[in-house]
Amino acid sequence: MKQYDAIIIGSGQAGVPLSKKLANAGKKTLLIEKSVVGGTCINDGCTPTKTMIASARIAYLAGLCNDMGITIKGYKVDLAQVKKRKDGIVKQFREGAQSSIEKTPNLDLVFGEAAFESAKIITVKLKNGKTSQVTADQIFINTGAKTIIPNDIEGINEIDYLTSHSILELDKVPEHLLIIGGNYIGLEFGQMFHRFGSKVTVLEKSQQLLFREDEDISAEITRVLKDEGMKIYTNAKTTKFKQKEKGKITATVQVAGEEIKIKCTHVLIAIGRAPQTATLGLEKAGIKTGKKGEILVNTKLQTNVKGIYALGDVNGGPAFTHISYNDYIIVYRNLIEKQNLSTRNRPIPYCMFTDPELGRVGITEKEAREKGLNIKVAKLPMSRVARALETGDTRGLMKAVVDADTKKILGVAVVGVEGGEIMTVLQMAMMGGITYDKIRYCVFAHPTYSESLNNLFMTLED
């Protein structure tokens, strides 16, 4: 049995930098990866999807260019070429990450599936079929999450459904893509493939798309997608799939209590993701998990077992790359730099990269009112943003929830071109305690999107 100071299971956005930092700090470190280096973000998340979304946006702009005084005739979408470009960028990122691991002294990289034998011993089933055992005093779990497949839909296993991973391998545009789930993953893929030329239908079981967002934000995103031609059903529950001839699929759906049938060629399952813990043998180590299989951790990302930590999506926290990376920073700095960092009260910014994108941070208006806070709400349609008018895209709105007494910004939602960048300006204001009245009179460069934050907070004076 080989002895290490630290073992990391999973090479995601926490595992890779943590492994290198621990090794550089003098710890003999082992990184175990069952598939390929980079985790969800590089391989079937952020990197490939945003690369393809960029191609889809070009197709969308080509269709609009006549309104801008530019004529483009006969453009077409070549999904095989889109995929080739995506695969090249993924390969570049993945190989870069693996190369940096392999060049790091004190760091071993092993490809295989890891499972606990005890709190300190791990068995690794290698890709060649052999097994080995390793041990360490400190073990870090960064195995991420995977697509949830609903088991209450009749006939789901009779169709060749797509997930957020397998849909990236398509090299031909689906004729009709049916998406089960109206949140971030489903909406990004839906708009992308609609712009590539697919007919797209989205089914969301809640009363609105993006059910965690305020109603006005959801309504704006819904309007944008419907205006592009996507079909959207809310209060929709899929009950049955039936495989037909020539690759056709019929879905039976209850919409607001009424049964309808939808014929499609492809089905994307996008109802959510669950932590990948089933094969880890956590019970042998005595590691506690939650209802969804997530590894339970404290604010220092420690499990109930001394010396074992869980980082990223596997611990059930916000499933974002930047949160996984911040988990690594907290753990590393606490262990090596002897800091006292925690996840308590850290900002949780996030973006949905539809076009226009949604940037969000802080609490929603709904959450603020449920807490009984004394708030004001500032809203500004993008049609009143000079930069949006000049560039020809006035879809969306800016929204901020502020404390009426302290004038501090409590939450922000921006739907619009560069929505994430605009949101980030206000996130930094929130972190620095800058009140909305200071931003109201701040000098911003003209003409920029952020300049209209003056106008956003001016609405609170009306």
Which fold, 2-146+274-336?
FAD/NAD(P)-binding domain (3.50.50)
- pLDDT confidence of residue 278: 96
- Domain 156-271: give its CATH superfamily: FAD/NAD(P)-binding domain (3.50.50.60)
Of the candidates 300, 317, 319, 318, the residue with the CA atom closest to the CA atom of residue 309 = 300
Q: Bridge partners of 164? A: none
- pLDDT confidence of residue 63: 85
Handedness of CA 267, 190, 148, 141 (dihedral sign): positive
Domains 2-146+274-336 and 356-461 share a fold: no
* Residuewise pLDDT in 10s, the chain (462 residues): 999 999 999 999 999 999 999 999 999 999 999 999 999 999 999 999 999 999 999 999 998 887 788 888 888 999 999 999 999 999 999 999 999 999 999 999 999 999 999 999 999 999 888 999 999 999 999 999 999 999 999 999 999 999 999 999 999 999 999 999 999 999 999 999 999 999 999 999 999 999 999 999 999 999 999 999 999 999 999 999 999 988 899 999 999 989 999 999 999 999 999 999 999 999 999 999 999 999 999 999 999 999 999 999 999 989 999 999 999 999 999 999 999 999 999 999 999 999 999 999 999 999 999 999 999 999 999 999 999 999 999 999 999 999 999 999 999 999 999 999 999 999 999 999 999 999 999 999 999 999 999 999 999 985
Handedness of CA 275, 279, 271, 60 (dihedral sign): positive
Of the candidates 207, 214, 177, 205, the residue with the CA atom closest to the CA atom of residue 192 = 177
Of the candidates 7, 241, 245, 267, the residue with the CA atom closest to the CA atom of residue 121 = 7
The dihedrals phi and psi of 61, each to the nearest 5 degrees, come to -65, -35
Handedness of CA 130, 134, 140, 141 (dihedral sign): positive
Q: Which two tokens stand for residue 173?
A: 């545009």
- pLDDT confidence of residue 56: 97
- CATH number corresponding to 356-461: 3.30.390.30
User: What is residue 144's three-state secondary structure?
Assistant: coil
The helix, strand and coil proportions of the chain, stated in percent and rounded to the nearest 5, come to: 35, 25, 35
Q: Which two tokens stand for residue 219?
A: 């309504």
Order of strands, edge to edge, in the sheet holding 350-352?
A: 350-352, 357-362, 409-416, 397-403, 375-381
Contact between 416 and 396 under an 8 Å Cβ cutoff? The reply is yes
Q: Tokens 């397998």 appear where?
A: 166
Residue 438 sits at the vertex; the CA angle it makes with 434 and 443, to the nearest 5 degrees, is 115
pTM exceeds cut of 0.85: yes
Active site residue 446: yes
Catalytic hit among 165, 176, 322, 446: 446
Q: Tell me, what amino acid is at 348?
A: I
Q: Tokens 């974002």 appear where?
A: 320
Extents of the domains making up the chain = 2-146+274-336, 156-271, 356-461
Residue 217 gets the label, from left (phi > 0), alpha (psi -120 to 50) or beta, of alpha
**DSSP states along 120-154:** SEEEEEETTS-EEEEEEEEEEE---EEE---SSSB
Q: Tell me, what amino acid is at 340?
A: N
Contact between 192 and 53 under an 8 Å Cβ cutoff? The reply is yes
The dihedrals phi and psi of 442, each to the nearest 5 degrees, come to -70, 150
User: What is residue 431's three-state secondary structure?
Assistant: helix
Order of strands, edge to edge, in the sheet holding 199-203?
A: 231-233, 199-203, 176-180, 266-269
- Other beta carbons within 10 Å of 172: 9
- pLDDT confidence of residue 462: 59
294: Cα within 13 Å, side-chain hemisphere: 18
Of the candidates 14, 105, 70, 86, the residue with the CA atom closest to the CA atom of residue 327 = 14
